[in-house]
Amino acid sequence: MRRFELLEPNSVEEACRLLSKHGQGARVLAGGTALVKLMKKRLIHPSYLVNIKGIKELHFIREDKDALKIGALTPLREIETSPFVRDRFRVVTEMVHTIGSVQIRNVGTLTGNLCFADPASDPAPLLIALEAQLKIVGPGGARVLSLENFFTDFYETTLSADEIVEEIQIPFLPKGSGVTYLKHTMRVAFDLAIVGVAVRLDLNLKDGVCKDSRIVLGGVASTPVHTKKAEGILKGKVIDDSRIAEAARAASLEVDPIHDVRASSEYRREMTEVFVERGLKQALERAKGG
């Protein structure tokens, strides 16, 4: 690892100021599990690390009127073991459990995961399906951005060099909503998704009609893919197996999957279909169950 200067701001404002001062040469250090690894492999060489761990107020999980809010410094493991998160968002607990290993989750943060923008990120597709938003702070003040509009390319986001994500906001789900995240890997644990599928179905519990749905894919392209055509097949319809199969097929045709060392493009497409189908079935059950 090359030497760098460590900066330790005590407030978000100070952090932004430092980032703005040092521009591209600076990077934010939160959990650091991804960043330190890349620095050790000498793939990135920041001159300044802005360690935000001193900003204690960024470490929280709290309930607001209509959303769950998670601070930028909250480690993944804390989210995974939070009874509150489990009560309101069992699917988030389940998803976080599949990331890395306990040791990584004890240190790594949810925000860090999103900002790194690894195409195989697990949180990204699920949180998009949950319509999560980011509160982003920069020198010019704060803005709130839908996570869906956050990712722009492999490892790239709309975050500018002098901005910091302060918190993630996940709106509470309406009644009749079922959400699931399925991840296809080669190993049972500690593996990256060949395809990660987040599925959400909002049902009208009276007649079983699908009011809204979201299908978001991870691991298949440079950024999470929101398959709107597939969703269109479900919206306003009563969901049954054949409708699910049709939507799954549509979703798999909506992506142009990447080919890499983990899987071919063709296999990714096939797995998209399989896991969207499975996800929809599971989400349907969850939705019906309340």
Partner 1 sequence: MKRELELKVNGEDYTLEVEPHRTLLEVVRNDLGLTGTKLGCGGGECGACTVILDGKAVKSCLMLALDAKGKELWTIEGLAKGGDLHPLQRAFVQQGAIQCGFCTPGMIMASKALLDENPRPTEQDIKDALAGNLCRCTGYVKILDAVSTVASEERKR
Partner 2 sequence: MIIDGEFRVNAPIERTWDFLTNIQEIASCVPSFEKVEVQDDKNFAITVSQKVGPFSATFETQTSFTEIIPPSRLVAFGKGKDTLMGSSFELTNEMDLVAISGKETLVKYKADVKISGRIASVGQSLIKIVAKREVANVVKLIQDKIGG
Partner 3 sequence: MVEEYSVIGKSQPRIDAMEKATGTAKYLGDLKIPGMLFGKILRSPYAHAKILKVDTSRAERLRGVRGVVTGRDTKGMRLCVIPHLANKPPLAEDRVRFIGDEIAGVAADSEEIAEEALDLIEVEYEELPGVFDSFEALKPGAVKIHEEGNVAIHISRNYGDVEKAFRESDHIFEDRFETQAQLHCCLEPHGSIVHLDQSGNLTVWITTQIPHPYRKMVADVLGMPLNKVRVIKVYMGGGFGGRFEMDPIEIISYFLSKKTGRPIRIINTQDEQFTTGRTRYPMVIDIKTGVKKDGTILARDVKVVTDNGAYNSHGITITMGVGTKCTYLWSVPNMRYQADVVFTNKVYGGAFRGYGNPQITFAIESQMDMIAEKLGMDAKDLCLKNANYEGQSTCMGHKVTSCGLKDCIEKVVEAIGWKEKRRKPENRGVGIASVMHTGGGVRLLFGDCNLSDVFIKMNNDGTIDLASGMAELGQGSDTALAQIAAEELGLRVEDVNVITGDTSTTPQCLGAWGSREIFIAGNATKMAAEEIKRKLIEEASKILEARVDDLVARDRKIYVRGNPEKSVPITQIATIWYNRGNILAGRGCYDDPTTYIPDSKTGYGGVPTYAFGTHAVEVEVDRNTGRVKVLNFIAAHDLGKVINPMLAEGQIEGSALQGLGYALSEGLIWEEGIVLNPNFQDYRIFYINDVPPMKSIMVESVDPDGPYGAKGLGEPGLVPTAGAIANAIYDAVGVRIKSLPITSEKILRAIKEKE
Segment holding 134, helix H or strand E:
strand 133-138
Distances from the Cα of 207 to the Cα of 38, 170, 234, 236, 246, angstroms? 52, 27, 14, 11, 21
Binding-site partner at residue 43 among partner 1, partner 2, partner 3, none, CB < 5 to 8 Å by type: partner 2
Q: 188 Cβ partners below 8 Å, 6+ apart?
A: none
Which residues inside 240-269 make contact with partner 3, applying CB under 8 A? 261-264, 267
Binding test (CB under 8 A) with partner 2, winner from 36, 60, 69, 155: 155
Binding test (CB under 8 A) with partner 3, winner from 184, 200, 214, 269: 184
**1 binds partner 1 per the rule CB under 8 A:** yes
Binding test (CB under 8 A) with partner 1, winner from 9, 15, 27, 32: 32
Token pair for residue 90?
Answer: 């069992």
Binding test (CB under 8 A) with partner 3, winner from 83, 186, 206, 242: 186
Nearest to 181 by CA among 132, 230, 125, 227: 125
Q: How far apart are CA 164 and CA 286, in angstroms?
A: 35
The site for partner 2, by CB under 8 A, has a size of: 17
Q: Cβ(107)–Cβ(202) under 8 Å?
A: no
**190 binds partner 3 per the rule CB under 8 A:** yes
Token pair for residue 218?
Answer: 């991870």
**191 binds partner 3 per the rule CB under 8 A:** yes
Binding-site partner at residue 259 among partner 3, partner 2, partner 1, none, CB < 5 to 8 Å by type: partner 2
Distances from the Cα of 189 to the Cα of 98, 186, 199, 211, angstroms? 7, 9, 21, 35
- Ramachandran angles phi, psi of 166, nearest 5°: -95, -40
Binding-site partner at residue 27 among partner 3, partner 2, partner 1, none, CB < 5 to 8 Å by type: partner 2
Q: How far apart are CA 111 and CA 30, in angstroms?
A: 9
Task: Return the C-alpha torsion angle 13, 154, 117, 136, nearest 10.
Answer: 30
**14 binds partner 3 per the rule CB under 8 A:** no
CB of 262 to partner 2, least distance (A): 9
Site string for partner 2, 15-54 (x = CB under 8 A): ------------x----------x--xxxxx---------
Report the residue number, 1 or 238, with the smaller CB distance to partner 3: 1
Q: 103 Cβ partners below 8 Å, 6+ apart?
A: none
Q: Cβ(185)–Cβ(191) under 8 Å?
A: yes
Residue type, 288: K
Binding-site partner at residue 154 among partner 3, partner 1, partner 2, none, CB < 5 to 8 Å by type: partner 2
Question: Residues in the site for partner 3, rule: CB under 8 A?
Answer: 1, 41-42, 184, 186-192, 261-264, 267, 270-271, 274
Binding site for partner 1 (CB under 8 A): 1-6, 29, 32-33, 36-37, 39-41, 49, 51, 53, 77, 97, 100-104, 106-107, 189-190
